[in-house]
Amino acid sequence: MPAENAPITISIERTVDPARIAQATAWMQTGINLATTYPGFLGSGWVRAGTDSTTWHMLYRFADDAALLHWEQSPERAWWLQSGSAFMSQHRSERRTGIEGWFDEPTEVTVEHAGLAAAAPAAPPRWKQAVTIWLGFFPLNLLFTYLATVLIPGWDTVPLALRVLLMTLCLTPIMTYVLLPGVTRMLRRWLSPTK
């Protein structure tokens, strides 16, 4: 059972009338602007699947269940949804809670396709996750160690705990935001082969 005060991310797939793209764009931004006024709102965004695609994806995140419920039951949201019903239809909604890793299944996932529940894709086996992380971490750690030793005079004399602290402070954001997403994209077919 997920913690009640865990952040919740909602992912929604919508189809847009291709003749009303400009109106749909303004409508999506209006929804984001309305949500930002609610306590516990952590962020939102939307993307189109492609230049000519009528499939749009919207994400929004709230601090906890209570904040999300406050937004979802609000008259502003009801008005906003109704105002887009003529040119926008929702096909899929996914709700995630908990702290998800790059591969781990979330603590709770609810996926709906046109109102019917569906199973979320399975996470890759742990050994594949470990190999993928190692493929990013080993070369990054090796490069950092080499550069620090060559470029920072006295690096070898810095106490071990401080060196490890500095390395992890520098390498964790690089690993999280640059290397791991790149490695997982490169290994996508190996991590989750199609059946």
The whole-angstrom separation of Cα 180 and Cα 48 is 24
Q: What is the CATH number of domain 8-118?
A: 3.30.70.100
Q: How far is CA 128 from CA 133, 171, 180, 193, in A?
A: 9, 21, 13, 12
Strands 55-62 and 41-48: antiparallel
Residue 88 pairs in a beta bridge with: 16
**Is the pLDDT assigned to residue 29 strictly greater than 70?**
yes
Domain boundaries, the chain: 8-118, 126-191
100 burial (CB, 10 Å; 0-12 / 13-18 / 19+) is: middle
- The number of angstroms, rounded, from the C-alpha of 160 to the middle of its chain's C-alpha atoms is 35
Residues 63, 66, 69, 70: is their CA dihedral positive or negative? negative
Q: Can you point out the beta strands (E) in 51-146?
A: 55-62, 88-97, 108-113, 116-118
Least confident of 12-21, 93-102, 141-150, 186-195: 93-102
**Is the pLDDT assigned to residue 186 strictly greater than 50?**
yes
**Is the pLDDT assigned to residue 113 strictly greater than 60?**
no
> Quick check: pTM over 0.85?
no
The answer to whether 31 and 78 have CB atoms below 8 angstroms apart is no
